């Protein structure tokens, strides 16, 4: 039984049937033109007062990325001559170079017909050529074409010489066709993940079995042999005194061969892990969790010490995108709230409420002034009232790592106005641009605005008082903490304990683990760092599961569904290590929206939500996805299934299959779910969990969910 379409005709309008250009327009109108700004730390000038011209749409993004040397794009893939020729015939793109239009960079214009994942493929192609992308303007025309402008330099930050243009053009067209490299984010996973066609056809189940082991070993050996041959050829070129262009081309091939070998080694690691360990379920952490939370659990032996992800049955909607500040957003959400509640969402994450230098609110200035680009204070209070009438919790975006000053003192922006009239003594001394005289913080420094010194009791007291006002006077129910890598988790615990929210979760955005530009199979170290942060809060706060996002989009975008189980048979993200503290998400205003810094491949969004909404952890659905007509139908069906069966953030997940092209699991012995283009159903697989029969509950492109009938 082919459950990609399990016995029913395809439903018109499903996401797989929407061309990329139409999906872009359906998502929201502003998606048609987006600018990707990749800036160095030196390029992010300090956020100052009213006259700041630097505070634009992407300044918040620049501070999140804090690229030390821009986005330096490393090596990407080569394709066989036959494959390259074939793919290029389907990609009639025109590439133009210009060294006169900008004094500091080479302008590269790429025009032609649009297609799914072209942006990510272009990024991967620049990866391979060791070029630095300073900025890129991505434009999709109404007719379905693209005219994309990239500003690039070489590794020495110089323009590309005209003599290299012809060679670069040829290599770009070749490398667009395929790549084995993941697009490694420099910081916070910002760079888009490179998309590629599935590297190989399914070669049987990767969870044990002689055939799977044999196939993985053969592919790894072949990749290793290719790398050895290329490295030997480089040695021969050196002996022959070949021209530099020949070395450049050979190094590109070497980097890609190394990436391909790393990918094959990751597949072998998955096979061996599956042979060693039987299927398992996600459990609360044992050794993974440190003593901070455990000390708080001793009294009653509970596994919760604070609000964290709420009741365990919460369903969160991120109620905004990067463009929401451009309209009467509070009024818009007020009208939409009854429908949001009817869909099953129990909480809505709202944008930063305070007066800010940036329109999106992530450079706050006067905390107590809650008139913003999203609407007035009165409109915000009206929205919160409607949310409560519909039984929906209101989650405020709390931006307290940094604050922009109102005035200068000695030529530095460090004097604050409003009810919290702080001065330079409230600022950390890490960044001399602001002249702070507070302590030197060991956490990540945000270079674009004064960083607040959370080690001072008076600062923590003032922040707690403001948050109490938001909670008790304005009417917010919970907190989403922004940029928590910038201050201590112990401070977050104090703010939570002092304000008693119904929910609390933080943005601990950390880079995944990579080797030779390829996402590692084992991401335990990455998710452990998030566990450690939650532990620092005493378990009072949950955290976004960036590990699951990184793995899920790699698995689905590349046809490597074997990535969706870890070495112990559990889900590989934070949800597999501490599920009650994992807030799972597919996209947000940072990774998607009109910025597309780390976008999930759009043609896999349906199955991604099927995975997210059936598994443990607390799901957070992105506004753009929910408001897409085709996706909304699927999301609503999945939400109903989750609520009907009481799937919670602690639900027990048992993985039954994870191969190249299919992943299957059962949850709480109530449902079974499969994602991926491969065939699988619980009946055909003979899955027995005590049920009498299985009934298909919902399905879509590459996914299906079944109810267990008792």
- Phi and psi of 609, rounded to 5°? -70, -30
Alpha carbon dihedral 216, 220, 223, 224, in 10-degree steps, equals -170
Pairing of β 145-153 and β 71-72: unpaired
What beta strand segments (E) does 114-204 contain? 132-139, 145-153
Task: Classify burial at 322, counting beta carbons within 10 Å of its beta carbon; exposed 0-12, middle 13-18, buried 19 or more.
Answer: buried
* Active-site residue, from 117, 482, 607, 661: 482
d(CA 272, CA 256): 24
Helix (H, G, I), strand (E, B) or coil at 696: strand
Closest CA to 708 of 654, 633, 632: 654
d(CA 74, CA 125): 9
Closest CA to 656 of 668, 643, 670, 666: 666
d(CA 676, CA 683): 17
Tokens found for residue 52 = 């700041």
d(CA 434, CA 439): 13
Closest CA to 117 of 66, 71, 179, 171: 179
Q: How many other C-beta atoms lie within 10 A of the C-beta of residue 103? A: 7
Residue 117 designated active-site: no
Closest CA to 15 of 645, 666, 684, 610: 610
H/E segment holding residue 707: strand 703-709
Pairing of β 347-349 and β 393-398: parallel
Helix (H, G, I), strand (E, B) or coil at 49: coil
Contact 622, 631 (CB under 8 A): no
Task: Classify burial at 693, counting beta carbons within 10 Å of its beta carbon; exposed 0-12, middle 13-18, buried 19 or more.
Answer: exposed
Helix (H, G, I), strand (E, B) or coil at 351: coil
What percent of the chain is helix, strand and coil (3-state, nearest 5)? 40, 20, 45
Bridge partners (DSSP) of residue 149 are: 109, 137
- Phi and psi of 121, rounded to 5°? -70, -40
d(CA 510, CA 496): 22
- DSSP secondary structure of 209-273: -HHHHHHHHHHHHHHHHHHHHHHHHHHHHHHHT--HHHHHHHHHHHHHHHHHHHHHHHHHHHHHH
Q: Which residues contact 322 (CB under 8 A, 6 or more apart)?
A: 57, 360, 589, 593, 594, 595
Residue 507 to residues 81, 285, 489, 584, 677: CA-CA distances in angstroms? 44, 20, 11, 11, 32
Q: How many other C-beta atoms lie within 10 A of the C-beta of residue 645? A: 18
Pairing of β 693-700 and β 703-709: antiparallel
Runs of H (alpha helix) within 581-664: 605-614, 623-626, 629-645
Residue 154 designated active-site: no
d(CA 531, CA 542): 9
* Active-site residue, from 366, 397, 507, 545: 507
> Annotated catalytic sites, by residue?
482, 507
């Amino acid at each position: 039984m082919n459950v990609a379409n399990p016995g029913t005709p395809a439903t018109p309008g499903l996401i797989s049937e929407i061309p990329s250009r139409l999906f872009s327009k359906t998502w929201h109108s502003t998606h048609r033109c987006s600018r990707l700004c990749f800036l160095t730390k030196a390029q992010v000038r300090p956020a100052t007062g009213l006259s700041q011209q630097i505070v634009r749409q992407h300044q918040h993004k620049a501070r999140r990325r804090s690229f030390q040397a821009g986005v330096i794009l490393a090596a990407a893939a080569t394709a066989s001559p036959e494959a390259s020729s074939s793919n290029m015939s389907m990609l009639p793109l025109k590439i133009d170079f210009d060294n006169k239009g900008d004094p500091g960079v080479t302008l590269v214009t790429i025009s032609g017909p649009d297609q799914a994942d072209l942006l990510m493929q272009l990024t991967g192609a620049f990866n391979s050529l060791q070029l630095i992308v300073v900025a890129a303007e991505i434009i999709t025309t109404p007719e379905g074409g693209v005219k994309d402008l990239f500003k690039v330099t070489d590794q020495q930050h110089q323009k590309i010489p005209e003599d290299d243009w012809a060679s670069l053009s040829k290599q770009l067209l070749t490398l667009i066709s395929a790549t084995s490299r993941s697009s490694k984010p420099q910081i916070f996973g910002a760079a888009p993940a490179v998309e590629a066609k599935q590297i190989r056809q399914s070669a049987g189940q990767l969870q044990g079995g002689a055939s799977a082991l044999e196939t993985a070993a053969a592919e790894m050996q072949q990749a290793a042999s290719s790398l050895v041959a290329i490295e030997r050829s480089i040695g021969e070129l050196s002996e022959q005194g070949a021209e530099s262009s020949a070395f450049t081309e050979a190094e590109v091939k070497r980097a890609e061969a190394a990436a391909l070998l790393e990918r094959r080694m990751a597949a072998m690691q998955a096979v061996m892990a599956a042979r060693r360990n039987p299927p398992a379920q996600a459990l609360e952490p044992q050794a993974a969790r440190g003593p901070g939370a455990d000390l708080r659990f001793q009294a009653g032996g509970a596994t919760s010490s604070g609000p964290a992800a709420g009741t365990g049955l919460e369903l969160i909607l991120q109620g905004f995108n990067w463009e929401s500040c451009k309209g009467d957003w509070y009024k818009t959400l007020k009208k939409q709230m009854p429908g949001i509640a009817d869909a099953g969402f129990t909480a809505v994450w709202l944008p930063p409420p305070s007066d800010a230098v940036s329109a999106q609110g992530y450079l706050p200035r006067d905390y107590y002034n809650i008139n913003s680009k999203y609407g007035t204070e009165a409109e915000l209070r009206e929205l919160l009232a409607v949310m409560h009438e519909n039984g929906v919790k209101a989650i405020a975006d709390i931006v307290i790592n940094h604050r922009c000053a109102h005035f200068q003192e000695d030529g530095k922006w460090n004097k604050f106005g409003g009810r919290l009239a702080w001065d330079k003594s409230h600022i950390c001394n890490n960044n001399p641009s602001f002249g702070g005289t507070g302590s030197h913080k060991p956490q990540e420094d945000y270079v674009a605005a004064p960083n607040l010194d959370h080690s001072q009791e008076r600062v923590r007291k003032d922040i707690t008082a403001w948050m109490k006002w938001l909670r008790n006077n304005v009417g917010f129910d919970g907190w989403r903490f922004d940029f928590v890598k910038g201050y201590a988790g112990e401070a977050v615990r104090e703010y939570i304990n002092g304000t008693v929210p119904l929910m609390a979760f933080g943005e601990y955005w950390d880079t995944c683990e990579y080797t030779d530009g390829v996402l590692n199979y084992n991401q335990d170290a990455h998710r452990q760092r998030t566990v450690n942060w939650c532990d620092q809060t005493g378990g009072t706060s949950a955290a976004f599961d960036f590990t699951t996002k990184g793995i899920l989009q790699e698995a689905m975008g590349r046809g490597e569904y074997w990535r969706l189980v870890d070495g112990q048979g559990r889900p590989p993200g934070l949800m597999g290590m501490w599920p009650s503290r994992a807030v799972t998400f597919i996209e947000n205003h940072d990774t998607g929206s009109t910025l597309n810094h780390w976008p999930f491949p759009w043609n896999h969004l349906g199955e991604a939500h099927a995975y997210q909404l059936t598994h443990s952890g607390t799901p957070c659905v992105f506004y753009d996805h929910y408001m897409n007509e085709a996706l909304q139908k699927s999301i609503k069906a999945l939400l109903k299934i989750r609520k009907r069966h009481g799937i919670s953030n602690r639900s027990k997940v048992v993985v039954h299959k994870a191969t190249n092209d299919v992943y299957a699991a059962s949850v709480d012995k109530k449902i079974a779910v499969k994602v991926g283009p491969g065939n699988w159903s619980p009946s055909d697989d003979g899955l027995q969990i005590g049920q009498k029969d299985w009934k298909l509950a919902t399905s879509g492109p590459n996914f299906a969910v079944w109810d267990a009938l008792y």
